[in-house]
Structure 1
Amino acid sequence: EVDTFMFEGHDTTTSCISFAAYYLSRDATVQQRVYDEILAIVGPDAKTQELTYGTLQELKYLEMVIKETLRMNPSVPIIGRRSAGDMLIDGVTIPKGMDFGILIYALHNDPELYPEPARFDPERFSEEASEKRQPYSYIPFTAGPRNCIGQ
C-alpha cells in the first residue's frame, strides 16, 4: 500500500505532462492561449511568484488542455471490473460475477461522443461542452469508489 501511495502518481503525471508538451508544440494557437492565460492570472513574475492552489484553479484553459491530453492519452487505457449484479446492456444480459473490460481509450475516441477524436481540441472541455456530455464518457482515471489514486 505504501508503494502505491508514494509512487503510483508519478508515472501518470509525467506521461500527461509529456503528451501535453507534445500537443502544445504542435498547435501554436493553443500554446499562445495557455501562455496568455498564465500571464493574465499569475503575472509576468510567474517564474518567481509562489503559486497557490487558488491560483491554479483559475487556470481554466490550461485545465481544458490537460483534460484533452488525458482524453487522447489516458494513463490507464483499459480497466477490468466484475459485475455486482445482473445487468442488461443493449439487450445483452451480463450476469452477476462476470469479468469485463472497459476500454477507456476506445470510449475517449468514440466519434459519437467526441467528433474528430484524433484532433486535439481543448474546447471539448469548456464548461458549455462539458455540461452536454454524458457523465461517464470521460473517465481518464476511471470513476467511482475504485478510481485511480494516482490522479
Structure 2
Amino acid sequence: MWLRKAFDRSRQFLIQQLKQGASAEGLALTCAVGFALALFPALGTTTALCLLVGLVLKLNQPTLQAVNYLLAPVQLLLIPVFLNMGAWIFSVPAVSFNPKTIIAEFFAAPGIFFVNYGMAGLRGMVAWLLVMPVIAAVAYLVLKVVFQNLQKVRR
C-alpha cells in the first residue's frame, strides 16, 4: 500500500518536472546520478554528496534529493553487500554483521574495532566505486528512454 503510494507520488513528481521544462536526458542523468550516490556505503553522507555533485554538474536538486531519500532503505540493505565485495576484492576476511559480535568487538578493543570497521568501510567504498559507474550508465540509458516516451505521451 505505502509502496504503491510512494511510486505514484514519485511518478507524478517526475511528470511535473517534465511539464515544467526538464529534458528527458537531464532528468535521466539526474536520476541515474542520484541512484548511484544514494547507494554510497557510508551512512549520513549521501545528502551532502548529492548536493555537491548536483551543484558541480548543474543537476536538478529536488529530483536528485528525492531519488536519494527514496533509496535510503536500499542503501541500508546494500552496505553489507559492498563491505563483503570489498573484502573479496582485497582478499581479506569480511567483518561481522552480527550486532552481538559488533558490540562485543567494540567493548573488547575500541581502537582495533575502529581500524577493522574503518578499513572495511574503505574497501566497501572501493567496491562501490568499481560497480556503480556501470550500474549508473545502464540506469541512465534505460531512464532516458522511459522519460522520452513519457514526454511524448504527455504532449
Provide the TM-score with structure 1 as the length reference. 0.33
Please identify which structure carries the higher helix content: 2
TM-score (norm 2): 0.32
Higher fraction of strand: 1
